[in-house]
């Protein structure tokens, strides 16, 4: 039981649930309703979608494992009590699971792509796997690059659902169709939301892990630029998030989606303001950890807002 618990900690199972939930809601609250209302049928069957989602989660789990593998020296300083690698799970087994998950995730991606007749889409998972490897070995120790890579991959976990939909990949005419335009707009907004909120969290995590990162020679934003500039970057990103939510609210006010507006105000924008206030006062690792946890909550409420699209579309 202890080993099983350690394994789930190693693969960051709550984050995998976030990924699966995001893709499920996007497929069945956005993609399917938009296509059905236009007289179309989704490219992916339920089985195909589940395989794609499992593929994404497997590649992500492999990424978390390899990240911990190369972060042992950092984690000894930053979170010694939470470490499972080298304490409960050996490095050899960690690398074995990383390889198994990557191979399984990439293989499933190609199977789904082959099933819909677009085999090249399988390379999406290959690219994600490679980026996660280089992030763990190099990118995360460089200024800004690691933050941007992870944020792009977070956004890609949203966009990948659209990649497998023929209204986006099939032809230029399909893209310009009402269903195609609507899908691109909605998926684009959620991908942008995912990128912005992930960037904020990545910088906050760098602030939280400064001590261990500096001892390991990492050149993260707060170490190279300083704590205040790192915070200012987060302020700017939080402001961008508020602007994005305001634009969405203006857009959905036209058809009268007032319940959705109230939801975004109370459960996305106000927590965003509270995050800004907490971040201003934060100066200890435990303070930044609290901010990071709040950002994860905003990510969840943002994801759950897709339910309103199911109601209104």
The number of helices, as runs of H, and strands, as runs of E, in the chain is 18, 0
Which H helix or E strand runs over 270? helix 270-281
Percent of the chain with pLDDT over 90: 71
- Average pLDDT over all residues of the chain: 91
Domain boundaries, the chain: 2-312
Predicted confidence (pLDDT) per residue in 31-76, tens digit: 999 888 888 888 899 999 999 999 999 999 999 999 989 888 887 8
Measured distance CA(164)–CA(44) in Å, rounded: 7
Measured distance CA(169)–CA(188) in Å, rounded: 15
Could you write out the DSSP letters of every residue in 181-206?
HHHHHHHHHHHHHHHHHHHHHHHHHH
Residue 85, beta-bridge partner list = 89
176-184: list long-range contacts, CB under 8 Å, 24+ apart.
177/38, 178/38, 179/34, 179/35, 179/37, 179/38, 179/40, 182/34, 183/30, 183/31, 183/34, 183/35
Measured distance CA(41)–CA(96) in Å, rounded: 40
- pTM > 0.85: yes
Q: Tell me the CA distances in angstroms from 178 to 70, 183, 185, 276, one per residue in order.
A: 47, 9, 11, 38
Phi–psi pair at 177, nearest 5 degrees: -70, 160
Predicted confidence (pLDDT) per residue in 145-173, tens digit: 999 999 999 999 999 998 888 767 665 56
């Amino acid at each position: 039981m202890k080993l099983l618990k350690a394994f789930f900690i190693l693969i960051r199972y709550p984050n995998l649930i976030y990924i699966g939930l995001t893709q499920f809601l996007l497929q069945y609250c956005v993609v399917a309703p938009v296509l059905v209302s236009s007289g179309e049928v989704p490219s992916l069957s339920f089985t195909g979608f589940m395989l794609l989602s499992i593929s994404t989660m497997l590649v992500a789990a492999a990424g978390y494992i390899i990240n911990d593998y190369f972060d042992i020296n950092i984690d000894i300083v930053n979170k010694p009590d939470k470490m499972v690698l080298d304490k409960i799970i050996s490095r050899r087994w960690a690398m074995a699971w990383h390889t198994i998950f990557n191979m399984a995730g990439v293989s499933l991606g190609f199977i789904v792509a082959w099933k819909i007749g677009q085999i090249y889409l399988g390379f999406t998972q290959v690219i994600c796997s490679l980026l996660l490897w280089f992030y763990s070995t190099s990118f995360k120790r460089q200024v800004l690059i690691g933050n941007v890579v992870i944020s792009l991959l977070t956004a890609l976990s949203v966009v990948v659902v659209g990649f497998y939909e023929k209204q986006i990949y099939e032809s230029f005419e399909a893209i310009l169709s009402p269903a195609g335009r609507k899908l691109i707009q909605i998926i684009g907004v959620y991908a942008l939301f995912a990128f912005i909120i992930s960037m904020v969290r990545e910088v906050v995590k760098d602030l939280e892990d400064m001590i261990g990162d500096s001892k390991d020679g990492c050149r993260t934003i707060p170490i190279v630029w300083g704590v205040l500039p790192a915070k200012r970057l987060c302020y700017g990103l939080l402001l961008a998030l508020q602007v994005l939510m305001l634009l969405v609210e203006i857009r959905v006010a036209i058809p009268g989606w007032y319940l959705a507006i109230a939801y975004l105000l109370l459960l996305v924008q106000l927590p965003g303001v509270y995050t800004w206030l907490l971040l201003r006062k934060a100066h200890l690792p435990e303070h930044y950890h609290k901010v990071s946890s709040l950002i994860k909550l905003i990510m969840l409420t943002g994801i759950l807002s897709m339910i309103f699209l199911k109601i209104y579309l």
